[in-house]
Structure 1
Amino acid sequence: MSEWSLSQLLSGLHDDIQRRLETVRKSFGHPGTKGDASEKVWLELLQTYLPQRYQAATAHVVDSRGVFSQQIDVVVFDRQYSPFIFHYEGQTIIPAESVYAVFEAKQAINASQVNYAREKVGSVRRLHRTSLPIPHAGGTYPAKPLIPILGGILTFESDWTPALGDSLIEALDGGQDGDRLDLGCVAAHGYFSFRQQDSRYEVHAGGKPATAFLFKLISQLQFSGTVPMIDVQAYAEWLSK
């Protein structure tokens, strides 16, 4: 009788993601089709393996002032406490208060794509988010501080040589707090993460990057806590406008 192997299970998860991304890159000729297929691979990874309190979707994010983000390839958002998520004609629209993380999905990482991902992340972080005091049996807790929204980029390949060298760090260091990329995966080579404690990037080359990225994301989401209590009435005011 064969023995179970956790190592093989975790390796197989990464190998499946890398194989699917590589097939998409090599097999699909139309850029739009290729991009949609890559997004689907990453979304299915997160939809399958993130705890059920989180969901992942391609979406626009909106705030209570009526401002919309750009379309985001991968939005990780709360579904346990969020009172509403809009689905209309194939489009998903998520209130800003419900968002935990946003990622841009591309075929390969380079300076241009890093800048583009930062622009997308910034379009979400600039949105207004409400946070109401939380009632309980003994009174009211103060309004919860807003959680930082994680931002990042997901790719299969790198246009740099070496793939995760100084050129990557130089491109990432160009970001500010509002558009900084916190986490990213280059499935064929490794992943990177931003260290808040000393404001620098760590690069993790080799290994099984897709699985390692997934675990790192889950770890960071655990420390994010819960999204704030949304002011639904702030959105309801748009009914009379």
Structure 2
Amino acid sequence: MTWSLPALLQGLHKGIHNRLHTAREVAGHPVLKGDAAETVWLSMLGDYLPERYRARRAVVVDSNGAFSQQIDIVVFDRQYSPFVFHQDGLEVVPAESVYAVFEAKQVITAEEITYAQDKAASVRALHRTSLPIPHATGVADPKVPHPILAGLVTLDSGWKPPLGDSLTKNLLTRQGEHALDLGCVAAHGTYARNCDGDYQVEESAMAATAFLFELIARLQALATVPMIDIRAYAAWLKA
């Protein structure tokens, strides 16, 4: 048997693309289609992200008792995050543990971009604690909480051309806490926001693989989540 890295990477993409396409064709109701797409992306991230990360459908909570909207995909820390609540199939994770949030839909449109932007803002608005970090030779200053990544992942695009000006125009409409940093249109390519706030769009025959690699690179740049002030959450025991 002769191994081929390009073939392996192509196979990863084809697996995701085919499962998304099947979900669209088989699931009749729009809600079922959305749930099926979400499951496909969660499965990929669960299989390929490093073990320190988890990807789940979740709600995010902060130590002030505020909650985000329900998020299709929350990428969060399980190495340093001390607790995750489970409630009726949905997880509730502390804001400090969150690295990234994504919405998963069948088709990217202006409405779905606005929807994903609102979901991202609901997470970014939450308060995050950060304590000094003890180590072998002393105590490090509290880490400034990192920016939370956000995006929208789909199978297809509602525009022609699929990755043209309509896409970038709608992505640029709302920035700040609403900004989407990166995403994937599996049938066509990827998009990513650079440090200047502009979007780079890449057509790709292996879009799902390209998205996964860019996400991992950006997660690496975020390093580790801040040290959570667990006593700030424990204060609610007296409420």
TM over 0.5: same fold?
yes
Q: Work out whether 1:52 is the aligned partner of 2:44.
A: no
Structure 1 length normalisation: TM-score? 0.98
Counterpart residue identity of residue 219, structure 1: A
Deviates more, 1:134-143 or 1:149-158: 134-143
Q: C-alpha deviations, 1:117-155, integer Å up to 9, x for none? A: 000000000000000011223331110111110000000
Partner residue of 1:225 out of 223, 226, 237: 223
Counterpart residue identity of residue 224, structure 1: L
Residue 34 of structure 1: how far off its partner (Å):
1.1
> Which residue number corresponds to residue 31 of structure 2?
32
Residue 32 of structure 1: how far off its partner (Å):
1.6
**Superposition RMSD on alpha carbons, in Å?**
0.8
Equivalents in 1 of 2:90, 2:104: separation in Å? 18
Q: C-alpha deviations, 1:30-50, integer Å up to 9, x for none? A: 112111111000000000000
Equivalents in 1 of 2:67, 2:197: separation in Å? 29
> Which residue number corresponds to residue 236 of structure 1?
234
> Which residue number corresponds to residue 191 of structure 2?
192
> Which residue number corresponds to residue 13 of structure 2?
14
Structure 2 length normalisation: TM-score? 0.98
Equivalents in 1 of 2:182, 2:113: separation in Å? 11
> Which residue number corresponds to residue 130 of structure 2?
131
Equivalents in 1 of 2:175, 2:204: separation in Å? 28
Equivalents in 2 of 1:235, 1:207: separation in Å? 46
> Which residue number corresponds to residue 103 of structure 2?
104
Counterpart residue identity of residue 54, structure 1: Y
Equivalents in 2 of 1:70, 1:199: separation in Å? 25
Deviates more, 1:132-141 or 1:43-52: 132-141
Off by >6 Å, runs of 4+ in structure 1: none
SS at match of 2:177: coil
SS at match of 1:178: helix
SS at match of 1:151: strand
Residue 116 of structure 1: how far off its partner (Å):
0.4
> Which residue number corresponds to residue 91 of structure 2?
92
> Which residue number corresponds to residue 152 of structure 1?
151
Equivalents in 1 of 2:12, 2:135: separation in Å? 42
Correspondence list, 1:158-177, <5 A: 158-177=157-176
Equivalents in 2 of 1:169, 1:135: separation in Å? 44
Counterpart residue identity of residue 160, structure 2: T
Residue 199 of structure 1: how far off its partner (Å):
2.1
> Which residue number corresponds to residue 73 of structure 1?
72
Q: C-alpha deviations, 1:139-176, integer Å up to 9, x for none? A: 31110111110000000010000000000000000122
Equivalents in 2 of 1:166, 1:112: separation in Å? 16
Residue 238 of structure 1: how far off its partner (Å):
0.5
SS at match of 1:207: coil
Residue 14 of structure 1: how far off its partner (Å):
0.2
Equivalents in 2 of 1:110, 1:32: separation in Å? 16
- Percent of residue pairs bearing the same amino acid type: 58
